[in-house]
Structure formats: structure tokens, C-alpha cells
Amino acid sequence: MTEVSPARAAYEASIKVIGAELGASWDDLPPVLRESWEAAAKAAVAATPVDLTDLADWVQLLRERDEARALIAEVRAILLEGGQDDATARRRAIAASAELDEERGDDDVFVRASACPVWPAAASHIAAALTAEETTPS
């Protein structure tokens, strides 16, 4: 069994949660959504102050949020801005995801959300939502 870092585990968990929120299997998600969500999730994992060592908390945060569908739509909208087609958007997502992975070697961050110009809006949105949940008194 390959050892998975907490950040990586959180990112993979977020992908599974989003699939559950959408009520769709992985195979049902259009490729552009799979790969755009992966890249956004990587950026969000890096940007959020959530304690990534507690994977259960991360999953719970995602599950409790009503705007999962809106996030997906937003990520897609960001990708498709400028009227590009799904295939072009998918290429951008793949490139961004790979670039984020390349950044993983840095000590200061798992990935730098600002490293990929395509992603800051989506990543910031996700991170802000998570941060608000962390800091809002119940």
C-alpha cells in the first residue's frame, strides 16, 4: 500500500465527496469536470488552513456544504470562460493539475494556489468557504 500524504488524502477525499454530492459516479462526470475539480481541489488543499491531518474533518466540511454543485459549476465556468470548448478546457485543467503537482516539491506549500493563473478564483472560493466554516461561531 502506497503511503499517502494527508494533503493528498484530503484532495482525494474531496473528489469522492463531490461525486457523492452530485449523485454521480466518477464515470458519469464529464472528463473536464473530473480534471478541473482535481486541480481546484489541489489548489484548495494548499490554500486552506484546515488541519489536513484530520481527514475526517475535511470530509465533514465538504459534506456539510450546500454549495458543492455551485462550486463545480463555478470551476467549470472559470475553465470555459472565453468560450473555449470542453476539450480545450480539459487540456488547461490537466496542465494546471500537473503544474500544481510539480509545485509539490516546495517545502513552504503543498502547492501554490497562485502558481496557476487559471485556478486562483476557484481555489480561493473553496478555501474561503472552508475558512469561514472554521472560524464562524456556531
Contact pick of 37, 62, 97, 127 for another protein (by CB under 8 A): 97
Nearer to another protein by C-beta: 1 or 132? 1
Q: How far is the CB of 16 from another protein (least distance, A)?
A: 10
Q: How far is the CB of 56 from another protein (least distance, A)?
A: 20
The reply on whether position 28 binds another protein by CB under 8 A is yes
Contacts of 128 (CB under 8 A, 6+ apart): none
Q: How far is the CB of 97 from another protein (least distance, A)?
A: 7
Footprint of another protein on 40-69 (CB under 8 A): none
Long-range CB contacts for residues 8-16, cutoff 8 Å, separation at least 24: 9/52, 9/55, 10/45, 10/50, 10/52, 10/55, 10/58, 11/38, 11/41, 11/42, 11/45, 13/55, 13/58, 13/59, 13/62, 14/41, 14/44, 14/45, 14/58, 14/59, 14/62, 15/41
Contact pick of 22, 55, 80, 94 for another protein (by CB under 8 A): 94
The reply on whether position 98 binds another protein by CB under 8 A is yes
Q: What is the CA radius of gyration of the chain?
A: 14
Contact pick of 34, 57, 59, 124 for another protein (by CB under 8 A): 34
User: Quick one: which segment of 62-70, 92-100, 115-123, 130-138 binds another protein (CB under 8 A)?
Assistant: 92-100
